[in-house]
Structure 1
Amino acid sequence: MKFKPVNKIPNMEDISSEIIQKRDNIIYKLGSFLNLYGYDQVETPIIEETELFIRKSGGELSNKLYSFVEPGGNKVSLRPEITSGLVRTANQKISTSKNLRFYYNGPVFRYSSPEEIYANKSRQYTQFGAELFGSKSIHSDAEILSIAIKGLKIIGINNPKICIFNMNIINEILSIFNISDRGRLFLIKNVEDIKILSNKEIIKKAKSIGIIKNNKIEKNMTYSKDSINGFIGRRTKADIINRIKLEENLLDENRFLSALNFVKKMYKISGDPDKSLSEFSKLLDNYDSKFKLLSQYFIDLIEALEMEKINISNIILDFGLSKSISYYNGLIFDIYVNSKAIESIASGGRYDDLNKILGYQNNLPALGFAYNIDEITKLLRSEEKKFSENILKQTKSNNMREIINKVNKDRESGFRSYVEYIE
């Protein structure tokens, strides 16, 4: 039987020795740098129970997982990120220290379907990141962000663009508007649509997925209540009662519109910290006085970053910055190689509630970041390193004993040396 070659899976890459050397050099420099800040290197399994990643992302990563049933019968996945495993590590060690600092590197795997915006991206890539557990201090926020920035400088990226926001601010604002959890998630997850679409289009979308009440639903709900003791077809009484409770929790259109009008203006605020805070303060003047306290976080963060000697002119305060994963509840940031770049090379944020989401009882505030090392490796110019190299070719007349002795002496002296053999 004649066999055909087995090709690569789409969007998986074979990595050359030159790229591996360059990548490993970057990782070594970053690891040495993180060590100076008291971060210890740890590793987590490449394969974990699928439930770990589903819980962490709220299902948002579920269609990106490479999942299968292992021979032992467990449902497992290749890790799409490393933070979840580190939470477990932190819980095993938190009793020994008030603050835990870890750094890590390794491959992660995320599937992208052909119609997605990142369809051409590699489905396996290398992450390098750091996590700080056990502190809610503004200075821990500043430490993680400053390390992410300074680490790039260590490897030759000197003028990055850093976009920051705080998810707690949008959550606080929407709670003041008395927005339900579903309504809040809708307004946070649809930032880009809210920026460009009309209110009418946004409200139509919200109604279509059951975020806002409408008259037709109200009539149906009343009918269901009146009919609950009569003929109910295939639905149980519990089904109808649960449906009615769901309808009662829907937002009325006016309340939703008030919140939408605010966030629509807020999401468009982006610029240097002074400019953005000035625009945000003007927006707050028309609303509840409680809102005015929300600016203080950024003032304190900028001061803490200045203590860390970070160039504030590279920082963009972007009130429209959002994350695809919903567990972030404080500082979030994306870092770009320069002011013109479209895709980020690093991102991070605070996730104080993730510990409990993953089933641990103790309160464990945490935040961290991760670099996409493969993207960074492509962006950086190759460091030309000329190795002393000696290639000895075997011929029929060669004395192989002499050749082997010579290459071994070369290697002992630190020279790259090898033999090209003949059959």
Structure 2
Amino acid sequence: MTISKPRGTRDFLPEEMARRRAVEFKLREVIQKWGYGEVVTPTFEELELFTLKSGQGIIGELYNFTDKGDREMTLRPELTAPVMRAYVNEMQSFSRPIKLFYFENCFRYERPQKGRYREFWQFGAELIGSSKPEADAEVIALAMTMIESVGIKGDLNIGNLSILRCLLAQITTESAVADQIMRYIDKKEYENLDSYLGELSVSAELIEKIHKIISLSGKDGFAAAKSAREVVGDLPELDAFEKTLTLLTAYGVTDYTVNFGVARGLDYYTGIVFEVYADGLGAQKQICGGGSYKLISLFGGGDVVSTGFGIGFDRIMEICELPVEKPETIVLITKPETQTNGIEIANELRPYVSVLTDIMGRNFKAQMEYANTVGAEYVLIVGEKELESGLLSLKDMKSGEQVSLSLEDLILKFKKE
């Protein structure tokens, strides 16, 4: 009987893992230079952590279970809520802002398709404790810098939900009602939106204002903000939005579209929201999304604002063409009589270069063929003659050139390279 991997999961073989690690390393390199520290949270959490954030409707998408203590648990479907829970449990006394990042696997029980899996990886960041435009600008600029560092050109769309929420505050104080309106806007279900607003007896003037705001879009963010002022007046939220755009220019982020119709589809976003799209992914073209939000109070903390983003690592890998540097490899060839000497020599060389030794009992010819098969750059011959002379024969498999070097010279050669 053959047991297959579960649906919606993948096996990553060495070549693919080398690609994934190369991209992961690049993303880590960028975010650490921006002063963010890594956190790791449990693979499973209490189910309530996610129903508090997203409602009971999310349960159908989760790998949830009851543990042996009769507790309702689930494999994590995302990482923002666990990081906020960790903040409440462990980090409330830390100096703010707190800058965190993570790279972990997540699990969702949904229909697998291109770019969407039941086990997937998310790379993300959370900046906790600042509601200033400086925080919004930094998080957006960081996300774009990370995406560009792996050779991907992302299409950045920026919105601001605080403008819409100012209008919604004129309709209702009930969060559930406001959230339903936001969901219609996010899904662009404008007929349903109008029907729902009609049921709420919203005036035609206010409905018109909502439609004007969500239709505001363009490459000139300041022009969009000016148009928004003509609809909603001089709100301080628009002043903060314009400052965010000014700061983005300082970061070198100038190619974006402002779209006040970006709603992100998540109820807890409060201000700036942004999404990044990339070609080559079909319908699932979003590779990054984020914004400012309030979640900490849900989990027992204070009224603390955060700004963050998540990068869909698997979607990045679908289109990333970052070259992978293959380490130089030596295949060390021995005879039965020199096997132990070969192992000792391999131990001396491995701090500086990848070394493979024979563990199959192959003869000299078969060991040479193996070196060709694995694409080794060099073979190092360790025979009785080489041991007697103290000079080992190193053959360049590409040029065919063969030289005799002492172990000390070999170490110097690969140490320098």
Band of TM-score, shorter chain: 0.7 to 0.9
Kept in 2, the 8 Å contact 1:392–1:420? The answer is no
Matches within 5 A, 1:195-210: 198=191, 202=193, 206=196
Q: Counting strand residues as a fraction of each chain, which structure ranks higher?
A: 2
| Higher RCO (CA-CA < 8 Å; seq separation 6+) | 1
1:380 maps to 320
- Write the deviation string for residues 215-244 of structure 1: whole angstroms up to 9, x where unpaired: xxxxxxxxxxxxxxxxxxxxxxxxxxxxxx
Give the partner amino acid of 2:140: L
Matches within 5 A, 1:59-78: 59-78=56-75
- Write the deviation string for residues 339-365 of structure 1: whole angstroms up to 9, x where unpaired: 99861211111112x1111222x2322
CA deviation after TM superposition for structure 1 residue 139, in Å: 0.7
Count of residue correspondences:
359
Matches within 5 A, 1:10-29: 10-29=7-26
Matches of 1:278 and 1:341 in 2, distance apart? 34
2:109 aligned with 1:111? yes
1:345 maps to 287
Matches of 1:139 and 1:176 in 2, distance apart? 29
Matches of 1:15 and 1:411 in 2, distance apart? 25
Partner of residue 343 from structure 2, selected from 393, 399, 404: 404
2:267 aligned with 1:311? no
Kept in 1, the 8 Å contact 2:127–2:135? The answer is yes
Matches of 2:115 and 2:99 in 1, distance apart? 34
Distance 1:340 1:13, change over 3 A: closer
CA deviation after TM superposition for structure 1 residue 381, in Å: 1.1
2:361 aligned with 1:367? no
2:356 maps to 417
**Structure 1: 5+ residue stretches without partners:** 214-250
Matches of 1:142 and 1:257 in 2, distance apart? 35
- Write the deviation string for residues 175-201 of structure 1: whole angstroms up to 9, x where unpaired: 124475443222210126656x54xx6
2:157 aligned with 1:163? yes
Matches within 5 A, 1:31-110: 31-91=28-88, 92-110=90-108
Kept in 2, the 8 Å contact 1:101–1:133? The answer is yes
Kept in 2, the 8 Å contact 1:394–1:422? The answer is no
Distance 1:125 1:418, change over 3 A: farther
Length-normalised TM-score, structure 1: 0.75
Matches of 2:198 and 2:173 in 1, distance apart? 11
CA deviation after TM superposition for structure 1 residue 394, in Å: 8.6
Distance 1:5 1:393, change over 3 A: farther
Matches of 2:114 and 2:352 in 1, distance apart? 48
Name the SS of the counterpart of 1:176 in structure 2.
Answer: coil
Matches within 5 A, 1:320-359: 320-337=261-278, 343-352=285-294, 354-359=295-300
Kept in 2, the 8 Å contact 1:391–1:420? The answer is no
1:185 maps to 179
Matches of 2:95 and 2:33 in 1, distance apart? 18
Taking every aligned residue pair, what percent have the same amino acid on both sides? 23
Larger deviation, residues 60-69 vs 72-81:
60-69
Matches of 2:265 and 2:271 in 1, distance apart? 14
CA deviation after TM superposition for structure 1 residue 320, in Å: 1.2
Distance 1:98 1:407, change over 3 A: closer
CA deviation after TM superposition for structure 1 residue 324, in Å: 2.4
**Structure 2: 5+ residue stretches without partners:** 363-417
Matches of 1:192 and 1:102 in 2, distance apart? 28
Give the partner amino acid of 1:334: E
Give the partner amino acid of 2:276: I
2:167 maps to 173
Kept in 2, the 8 Å contact 1:267–1:320? The answer is yes
- Write the deviation string for residues 252-289 of structure 1: whole angstroms up to 9, x where unpaired: 3xx1655443333332222111443344345x1xxx64
Matches of 2:203 and 2:10 in 1, distance apart? 46
Matches of 1:399 and 1:337 in 2, distance apart? 55
CA deviation after TM superposition for structure 1 residue 23, in Å: 2.0
CA deviation after TM superposition for structure 1 residue 410, in Å: 4.2
Kept in 1, the 8 Å contact 2:213–2:228? The answer is yes
Kept in 2, the 8 Å contact 1:58–1:326? The answer is no
CA deviation after TM superposition for structure 1 residue 34, in Å: 2.2
1:125 maps to 120
CA deviation after TM superposition for structure 1 residue 73, in Å: 2.2
Kept in 2, the 8 Å contact 1:394–1:421? The answer is no
1:247 maps to none
